[in-house]
Amino acid sequence: MKMHGEATKAGRTRLRASRRGRAWGRFRSGGLRGRAGFLLAVGGLLLGLVTVPASAAPVAGPGGGGDGWVLSTSDTAENYSPTFVGNGYLAARVPAAGHGYSTMPIVTQSELAGFYGAPAAGQEERASLPAWTTLGFGRGGDVYGIEGWSCGFGQLCPTAYGKVSGGAFLESSHPGSIVGSYLAGLNSNDTPTVGGGGVIPVRNAPAGPATLAVRYGNGSGSPQTIHIGVNGAFRQLSVPSLASWDDWAVVTVPVTLNAGANTLEVTVTEGDTARVNVDYLALYPDGAQPPTQIAPATVGTTTKYRQSMDLRTGLLTTSFDWTSPAGDTTSLAYEVNANRADGHLGTVSVQAVPHWSGTATVVDEFDGRGLDHASTTDPRVDGKTATLSQTVVSNGNLVTAGLNSVLRIGGKTVPTQAIADPGDGGAGQRATFPVRAGEPLRITKYVGVASSVDTDRPLAAATPQQAAAKTAAHAAADGYQRALARNRDAWSRLWQSSISIPGDPTMTTQVHASMFYLLASVRAGVVWSASPGGLSSDGYSGHVFWDTETWMYPALLAQYPDIAADANTYRQQRLPAAQAAAAALSTPDHPIKGAKFPWQSALTGKETTPDWSPDGKQEIHINSDIALAQWQYYEASGDKTWLRDKAWPVLQGIADYWATRAVPDPAGGYAIRDVKGPDEYHDNVDNSVTTNAGAQASLRIAIRAAGMLGRAADPAWHKVADGLKIPVDTTTNIHPEFDGYSGQTIKQADVTLLQYPLAVPMSPGLAQNDLDYYQQRTDLDGPSMTDAIATIAGAALGSRGCDVYTSLRKSADPYLAAPFDQWYETRTGGAFDFTTGQGGYLQEFLYGFTGLRWGTDAVTVDPFLPPQLPGVDLTGIKWHGRSFDLSVGARTTKLTLRSGPPLPVRVGSGSDDVRQVRPGTVLQVPTRHPAGDATNCGS
């Protein structure tokens, strides 16, 4: 694999992804999902990888209360990954500073549902807004958290803290840099990035001669050149090659400085080769020892720091005392929230207590450094109303968004002035006013956001900017406490459905956090399906994969069917694009009918998998994932009108596709050739058992739906469904993954999906053999959701000993990041925050330990509990207009019907024992346990 300047076009795209600290595998087919990802992992050449901090154990911080709802930290120096706030429409990752924008340790992006752009060449991808969370307070030019960072003379100046531009970017895939990130992209695809580079301002320098140290990485095999500038005077610098890209070295350059402020630059000019990474610059006196102190990321110093996320309300609070470079100390307490009651509203509020008297400065910004795949226009400040506005247009003019911020100080309007154009697409306003020492003051910005593709508001009623302005102005008029109260009430209604582990607050918090981050990325009425990173970032380009239908959607369906329904609506609205895709595959020799949904989907429903990847053509199991999700909603809701008007066209289109995509097998029956199953380490296989089983299930779902609706089922559906083979190797008594499979390493759950969610009939012995066989052959560095299937399937089987509990632990522990219980995609990093893994984890509690399964005539419960779990309590489960609770206990499981007509419950999988539970009554059934000794399962 070539690196940096030798990167291929695909590799260059992945490298570029890492500049934003994004998940490895922005384009899923070329990342950890495909064969290339496997080879790279083996070789250790992980491009664009977000790396899990060492010993990143999830811990509820002091002050969390042990109630399973609050996560806190007082130390962001180690094991810290910033969390995000979201309401299912608007979201923002918030750095340790408590507001604003940062590149470290993970870029803090601001996302908006449906906000996609299209580059001049390439596929649709999620665009990012300017960071809307910036709100600074201070005196004069010393304003907390506002751009103006500088490095001290005699300090190590990380390039990650400077201003990067011109096509250069930050990279984090190579170890050993001083802050985990460094300047890269100075050469891409063997082409120097002319004009690309970084700028670092240095303060407090003495006039005269000094030494400039440059720490660099160069594994190219030959010397490389870049240009170094001091106060606008440039010279070419040649740096020797090192043993590998993971090595670093320092070269020094004599320079002459001005007294006070100086500007250092790294840049690429014509003639430079520039295949080099730059970690830091440092200025120090001639003849002196090189410095060792790393310049802090922010100006000034902080003490008494604490950051807390309240999962009950989605409110992120960061409090500390800040001492400015001039010596002024202010107590600050920030609160950042994406309002759950109003998806178009975000608030940033700071309680400031200055320990000084004088003239204070407040800066309200839309920070353009957060922009990605978009540009901004028409920045405006209405000083009389303290209103800042800006329009954001995604690449290709696909979507227009309006941003509007109304600033209030002490609940009042203080006149503002526009700040100077920062030149990065941002905009801002500034207010000044007198303060007295010890007198607290609340400063709040109310941010309204709307776009041209909103699905939860009448688009004809107002332009995005008008709608955004209306949201911000109304919230400011109502006041901050009312906005918080509405947000609190909206979350409280959602948390009427919950999952908890009695007696285990740590696991309970992990479960609450997983559901919180999933809910933060989706909401009812916003018909944009979730990507593998949710709204936490533009990881995987914000594309929609099978992750939604197979991993996230079932976790929502049980307790939030109104939210889950929108994932189905997203597919239904894009049926015409899927029909066009199927038609485009049709040839005279092999006509294709129906609908082929894209492996990667975005705005339009067209295939957005990169052209260089085979996945768009081969991962056709996505069709079955979609069909199953549509059917599951009908099973859970019983809404036959929805089935007829909304789901049926999708089910029919998918059935027609499978009936024509399958081909007659010379040995009899039907085959599906040249595919890739969920195991993405193996391309171009025939008869992927999971693909075949999914196609068979889709055809039979369509047949059943047709019968319910009085529609005619195509005879070909019956013929192909019955003819598709689900082979069993009689020697090993397992399902071989595909024709010719001989025990190779696989990436993730594949064959085991036959048991759940596909429910393919098989003997318990065969099912257990599949679990055991493929567990031994699954890559430990694969994604986090695999073991969730082992847990759910093992619970259904009543697997022996420690199997189920071990799978439960393996499905979560290696992937959780401190301090806010977010998820990485793999043990070594990957997509973050990985909502796919969270969805799988939640399904273990919803469907694994309860044995809960949907049916058109009844729900099934078949509880199972390892002895290490004291129990599992679930509230607010929905089925056919009813709401019920389940409490899985060590000996007995209780089902309580809270509302609705009597509930038919099938006791035991496949049982004929159906009982009617009346409102307010409790059904008790015995809880199953593992066979054999399950008490010594390790820590």
Enumerate the active-site residues.
680
Question: For residue 808, what are its two tokens?
Answer: 């439960």
* Distant-in-sequence, close-in-space partners of 486: CB < 8 Å, separation ≥ 6: 339, 341, 342
Letter string b/e over residues 98-130, b meaning 16 or more CB atoms within 10 A of that residue's CB: bbbbbbbbbbbbbbbbbbbbbeeebbbbbbbbb
Query: Would you say 832 and 106 are in contact if contact means Cβ atoms under 8 Å apart?
Result: yes
Query: Would you say 692 and 736 are in contact if contact means Cβ atoms under 8 Å apart?
Result: no
Query: Would you say 610 and 29 are in contact if contact means Cβ atoms under 8 Å apart?
Result: yes
* Distant-in-sequence, close-in-space partners of 359: CB < 8 Å, separation ≥ 6: 139, 140, 432, 433, 434, 435
Burial class (CB in 10 A: 0-12, 13-18, 19+), 764: exposed
Query: What SS3 class is residue 370?
Result: helix
- Rounded-to-integer distance, Cα 891 and Cα 865, Å: 9
- Rounded-to-integer distance, Cα 240 and Cα 236, Å: 13
Letter string b/e over residues 334-364, b meaning 16 or more CB atoms within 10 A of that residue's CB: bbbbbbbbbbbbbbbbbbbbbebeeebbbbb
**Strand segments (E) across 339-386:** 345-354, 358-367, 374-382
- Rounded-to-integer distance, Cα 857 and Cα 840, Å: 26
* SS3 letters across 75-97: CCCCCCCCCEEECCCEEEECCCC
Query: Would you say 565 and 633 are in contact if contact means Cβ atoms under 8 Å apart?
Result: yes
From the list 878, 890, 823, the residue with the least C-alpha distance to 846 is: 878
Question: For residue 267, what are its two tokens?
Answer: 């840049």
Angle between helices 480-494 and 464-478 (to 10 degrees): 100
| Beta pairing partners, 875 | 498
φ, ψ (nearest 5 deg) of residue 646: -110, -50
Query: Would you say 383 and 154 are in contact if contact means Cβ atoms under 8 Å apart?
Result: no
Write the single-letter amino acid at 884: F
- Rounded-to-integer distance, Cα 317 and Cα 72, Å: 9
Categorise residue 638: left if φ over 0, alpha if ψ from -120 to 50, beta otherwise: left
- Rounded-to-integer distance, Cα 639 and Cα 480, Å: 40
Query: What SS3 class is residue 722?
Result: helix
* Distant-in-sequence, close-in-space partners of 313: CB < 8 Å, separation ≥ 6: 337, 484, 487, 488, 491
CB atoms within 10 A of CB 759: 14
- Separation of first and last alpha carbons in the chain: 39
Categorise residue 449: left if φ over 0, alpha if ψ from -120 to 50, beta otherwise: beta
Q: Which contiguous run of DSSP H or E holds residue 893?
A: strand 892-899
- Rounded-to-integer distance, Cα 475 and Cα 491, Å: 18
Q: Which contiguous run of DSSP H or E holds residue 467?
A: helix 464-478
CB atoms within 10 A of CB 913: 9
Query: Would you say 747 and 33 are in contact if contact means Cβ atoms under 8 Å apart?
Result: yes
Question: For residue 826, what are its two tokens?
Answer: 């793999």
Torsion of CA 810, 814, 815, 819, to 10 degrees: 130
Query: Would you say 818 and 72 are in contact if contact means Cβ atoms under 8 Å apart?
Result: no
φ, ψ (nearest 5 deg) of residue 685: -100, 160
